[in-house]
């Protein structure tokens, strides 16, 4: 594992936010990094580099103007593992005292990480006693690693470009390798050194360009063979160790059948005394029987990688499971799951969560600072579906084609529109937002196109420019476009076609250069078919459609957004509240009909109304489900239905009754004998 402190560079000099371009250029002539931090009241709020200064000069040649600085940076604990983030260009490392110890650009971090991994690989190969020789198609030596040089007993400078086929004595035909054949356990000698190894084709861009010889000293390989018996005995010892440990080891084959169970058998979890009852059973069938959930084997197969999850039985027993896939080539051979009963570890888990939240405090501090300095709305996401949507947005941002944003209410259409503007060549020009549904019908024409003096009673004596004029050279965002009256749709279509407007009460045409972005949460095609929206205008606006997925379709973003709103409202209301893992789990299980806007409102309500600084699951459940808990009077089934559906209905009614009667999720979960997380999951499922 490589941590940030291994690749960080020393902190560069800093400048004040009031620094001019001339002062910044003078500083860059004296420092090697060509990057400087920007401070405000002795706190780092951003950074500048040569490219950003030159970009600013392109728009204005005044070198006495105040610098514009970038803020796409992130503070991380210097001893945490290196990982990469969206929308971050600079990483700052902080020590345990909160002091900034170094920095690195993200692209340089990737390069250094690759270099470090390569060095580690070389050390591994050398430490394992493995020699490597590569040749070209004529068997001329092109590379020898350090261990290969040591095993062969000849200096690399002597070996380079010599014919390896002549130097290496073996009874195997090396010419077969250049035809695509692999030779295993090739015994040979070189300079009276006895070696053994494998010879494989060296393939570059689909063509065989030479040979790779991977080898070791023969006596060491023979010793390795003699150690296989030792490994067998060691395996038996490990089985005994696993049996005495508190972990259960479950091995499932590629089809989902359980083939082996070792270690401590979790009989309360499986609800059986004998592990042999499970051998040969399909994990999907066990999941359907309600033995556990979720199915980590299926999650592991879908992800094609390691999966960690808390599994819970119908009786509320929790098990922490880590599933690792084992591949043979490209084929999934088996999945190994190590499980630990978490029932007795809840207290330790809570302490760990607090420590993790404290380790995030530096990141939250930076985000607070960015909020205070007027950082504009940014896109926060981690899910693949949002990454694909943002990639599409960035590709179309550089052109001036009209864009129509589709998405449910609250998904962040205005934030997306702003991001398109900020990523376009018009980013230094106005961004004007117009809510077409909020302007009275008798005023919308004058608001959009402006009016001349005396155009109507009550008009400003000087006249007034409309939104189109205000957005000249920039972007005009028409939100709720389907609410635009039909008579205004005709005039908007003409503006889009002619690129000019006429003010109300005027006769002079005014040319305009505006990019149009529109948005709606309704089915605009249905409005067209009903005659409520002009078809020709629809085609004019819908040149590039972008659909923003609802929050329920990207659960991976919920935790990031929740933590963002948490630190935002903590700063707004001067609080220091934090969320438990169970609280986050409940938020992630909720279906969020109001999307990001609802999540923001819920987080603000939680910050304001909860009494304690540590927010737990029972604090959140009443907020999410209070409206539902008062609809039914007592648990009952009113009609015939399948037994499974009836049980689910009664469970839902019992949970609602408990919430209404006892007022808190903690008390309700205690009375019903289930966890708050289970309450959230059942309530969400019943919707």
pLDDT tens, residue by residue, 66-87: 999 999 999 999 999 988 887 8
List the structure tokens of 489.
């749709």
Number of residues written out for the chain:
687
Kindly tell me if the per-residue pLDDT of 627 is higher than 80. no
Would you state the pLDDT for residue 350?
62
Nearest to 435 by CA among 402, 473, 476: 476
Q: Please give the average per-residue pLDDT across 573-585, as a whole number.
A: 88
Q: Three-class SS of residue 56?
A: helix
Crossing angle, helix 581-589 and helix 676-686, to 10 degrees? 10
pTM: 0.42
Kindly tell me if the per-residue pLDDT of 325 is higher than 80. yes
List the structure tokens of 651.
């469970």
Would you state the pLDDT for residue 330?
82
Q: Which residues pair with 188 in a beta bridge?
A: 195
Give the integer Cα–Cα distance in Å for 404 and 434: 14
Write down the mean pLDDT value for the chain.
83
Q: Contacts from 219-222 at CB under 8 Å and sequence distance 24+?
A: 219/194, 220/129, 221/196
Q: Please give the average per-residue pLDDT across 286-299, as a whole number.
A: 82
List the structure tokens of 79.
């001893």
Task: Grade residue 586 by pLDDT with cuts at 50, 70 and 90.
Answer: confident
Q: Please give the average per-residue pLDDT across 263-279, as a whole number.
A: 77
Sign, Cα dihedral of 466, 471, 473, 478: negative
Residue 167 and residue 125 in contact, taking contact as beta carbons nearer than 8 Å: no
**What are the two backbone dihedrals, phi and then psi, of residue 335, each rounded to the nearest 5 degrees?**
-125, 130
Residue 663 and residue 569 in contact, taking contact as beta carbons nearer than 8 Å: no
Give the integer Cα–Cα distance in Å for 431 and 417: 9
- Tell me the per-residue pLDDT of 398-408, one tens digit each, with 9 for 90 and over: 899 999 999 99
Would you state the pLDDT for residue 243?
55
Nearest to 94 by CA among 76, 108, 120: 76
List the structure tokens of 264.
């401590």
Q: Contacts from 72-78 at CB under 8 Å and sequence distance 24+?
A: 73/46, 73/47, 73/366, 74/363, 74/366, 75/100, 75/362, 75/363, 75/365, 75/366, 76/4, 76/362, 76/363, 77/4, 77/359, 77/362, 78/3, 78/4, 78/5, 78/8, 78/102
Task: Grade residue 539 by pLDDT with cuts at 50, 70 and 90.
Answer: very high
Give the integer Cα–Cα distance in Å for 527 and 538: 10
Would you state the pLDDT for residue 332?
87
Q: Please give the average per-residue pLDDT across 115-119, as a whole number.
A: 75
Task: Grade residue 374 by pLDDT with cuts at 50, 70 and 90.
Answer: very low
Residue 432 and residue 458 in contact, taking contact as beta carbons nearer than 8 Å: no
- Tell me the per-residue pLDDT of 465-523, one tens digit each, with 9 for 90 and over: 899 999 999 999 999 999 999 999 999 999 999 999 998 888 889 999 999 999 999 99
Q: Please give the average per-residue pLDDT across 534-554, as a whole number.
A: 93
List the structure tokens of 213.
């010889």
The three-state DSSP-derived secondary structure of 64-109 is CCECCCECCEEEEECCCECCCCCCCCEEEEECCCCCEEEEEEHHHH
Q: CB within 8 A of 460, min separation 6: which ones?
A: 451, 453
Longest dimension (CA), the chain: 107
Nearest to 45 by CA among 76, 24, 14: 14
- Tell me the per-residue pLDDT of 445-475, one tens digit each, with 9 for 90 and over: 889 998 888 767 666 677 888 999 999 999 9
What is the enclosing helix (H) or strand (E) of 131?
strand 131-136
Higher pLDDT, 265 or 531: 531
Q: Tokens 């049980």 identify what position?
A: 647
Higher pLDDT, 394 or 374: 394
What is the enclosing helix (H) or strand (E) of 490?
helix 486-498
Q: Please give the average per-residue pLDDT across 359-379, as a whole number.
A: 45
Crossing angle, helix 595-609 and helix 617-625, to 10 degrees? 130
Count of Cβ atoms closer than 10 Å to residue 95 Cβ: 14
Give the integer Cα–Cα distance in Å for 211 and 172: 14
8-state DSSP, 74: E
Would you state the pLDDT for residue 247?
76
Give the integer Cα–Cα distance in Å for 292 and 287: 6
Task: Grade residue 360 by pLDDT with cuts at 50, 70 and 90.
Answer: low
Residue 499 and residue 512 in contact, taking contact as beta carbons nearer than 8 Å: yes
Kindly tell me if the per-residue pLDDT of 373 is higher than 60. no
Give the integer Cα–Cα distance in Å for 52 and 35: 10
Would you state the pLDDT for residue 342?
72
Nearest to 431 by CA among 399, 466, 397, 477: 477
**227 HSE (CA, 13 A, CB side):** 6
Give the integer Cα–Cα distance in Å for 551 and 598: 10
């Amino acid at each position: 594992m490589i941590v940030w402190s291994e690749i960080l560079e020393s902190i560069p000099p800093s400048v004040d936010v009031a620094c001019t371009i001339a002062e910044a250029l003078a500083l860059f002539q004296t420092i090697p990094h060509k990057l400087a931090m920007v401070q405000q009241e002795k706190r780092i709020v951003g950074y500048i580099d040569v490219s950003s200064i030159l970009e600013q000069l392109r728009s204005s040649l005044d070198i006495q103007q105040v610098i514009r600085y970038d803020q796409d940076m992130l503070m991380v604990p210097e001893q945490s593992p290196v990982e990469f983030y969206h929308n971050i260009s600079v990483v700052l490392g902080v020590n345990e005292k909160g002091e900034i110890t170094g920095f690195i650009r993200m692209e340089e971090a990737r390069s250094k990480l690759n270099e470090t991994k390569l060095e580690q690989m070389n050390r591994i190969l050398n430490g394992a006693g493995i020699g490597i020789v590569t040749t070209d198609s004529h068997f001329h030596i092109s590379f020898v690693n350090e261990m290969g040089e040591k095993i062969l007993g000849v200096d690399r400078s002597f070996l380079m470009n010599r014919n390896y086929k002549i130097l290496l004595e073996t009874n195997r035909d090396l010419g077969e390798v250049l035809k695509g054949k692999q030779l295993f356990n090739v015994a040979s000698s070189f300079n009276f050194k006895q070696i053994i190894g494998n010879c494989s084709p060296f393939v570059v861009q689909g063509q065989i360009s030479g040979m790779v010889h991977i080898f070791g000293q023969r006596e060491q390989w023979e010793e390795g063979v003699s150690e296989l018996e030792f490994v067998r005995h060691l395996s038996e010892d490990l089985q005994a160790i696993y049996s005495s440990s508190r972990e259960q080891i479950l091995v499932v084959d590629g089809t989902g059948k359980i083939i082996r169970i070792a270690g401590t058998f979790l009989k309360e979890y499986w609800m059986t005394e004998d592990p042999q009852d499970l051998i040969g059973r399909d994990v999907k069938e066990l999941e359907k029987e309600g033995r556990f959930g979720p199915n980590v084997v299926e999650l592991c197969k879908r992800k094609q990688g390691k999966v960690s999850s808390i599994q819970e039985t119908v009786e509320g027993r929790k098990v922490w499971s880590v599933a690792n896939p084992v591949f043979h080539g490209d084929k999934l051979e088996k999945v190994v799951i190590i499980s630990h009963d978490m029932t007795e570890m809840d207290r330790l888990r809570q302490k760990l969560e607090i420590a993790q939240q404290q380790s995030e405090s530096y990141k939250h501090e930076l985000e607070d600072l960015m909020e205070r300095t007027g950082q504009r709305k940014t896109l926060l996401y981690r899910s693949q579906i949002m990454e694909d949507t943002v990639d599409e947005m960035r590709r179309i941002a550089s052109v001036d084609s009209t864009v129509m944003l589709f998405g449910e209410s609250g998904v962040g259409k205005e934030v997306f529109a702003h991001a398109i503007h900020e990523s376009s060549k018009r980013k230094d020009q106005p961004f004007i937002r117009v809510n077409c549904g909020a302007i009275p019908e008798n005023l919308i024409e004058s608001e959009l196109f402006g009016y001349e003096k005396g155009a109507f009673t009550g008009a400003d004596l000087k006249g007034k420019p409309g939104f189109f004029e205000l957005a000249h050279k920039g972007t005009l965002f028409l939100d709720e476009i389907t609410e635009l009256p039909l008579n205004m749709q005709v005039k908007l279509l003409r503006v889009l076609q002619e690129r000019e407007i006429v003010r109300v009460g005027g006769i002079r045409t005014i040319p305009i250069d505006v990019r149009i972005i529109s948005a709606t949460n309704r089915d605009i095609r249905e409005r067209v078919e009903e005659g409520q929206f002009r078809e020709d205008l629809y085609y004019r606006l819908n040149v590039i459609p972008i659909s923003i997925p609802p929050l329920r379709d990207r659960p991976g973003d919920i935790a990031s957004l929740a933590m963002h709103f948490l630190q935002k409202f903590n700063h707004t209301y001067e609080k220091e509240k934090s969320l438990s893992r169970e609280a986050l789990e409940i938020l992630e299980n909720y279906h969020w009909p109001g999307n990001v806007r609802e999540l923001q409102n819920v987080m603000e309500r939680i910050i304001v109304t909860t009494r304690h600084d540590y927010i737990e699951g029972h604090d959140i459940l009443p907020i999410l489900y209070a409206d539902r808990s008062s609809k039914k009077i007592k648990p009952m089934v009113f009609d015939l239905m399948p037994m499974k559906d009836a049980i689910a209905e009664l469970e839902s009614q019992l949970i609602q009754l408990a919430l209404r009667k006892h007022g808190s999720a903690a008390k309700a979960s205690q009375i019903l004998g289930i966890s708050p997380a289970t309450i959230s999951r059942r309530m969400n499922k019943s919707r």
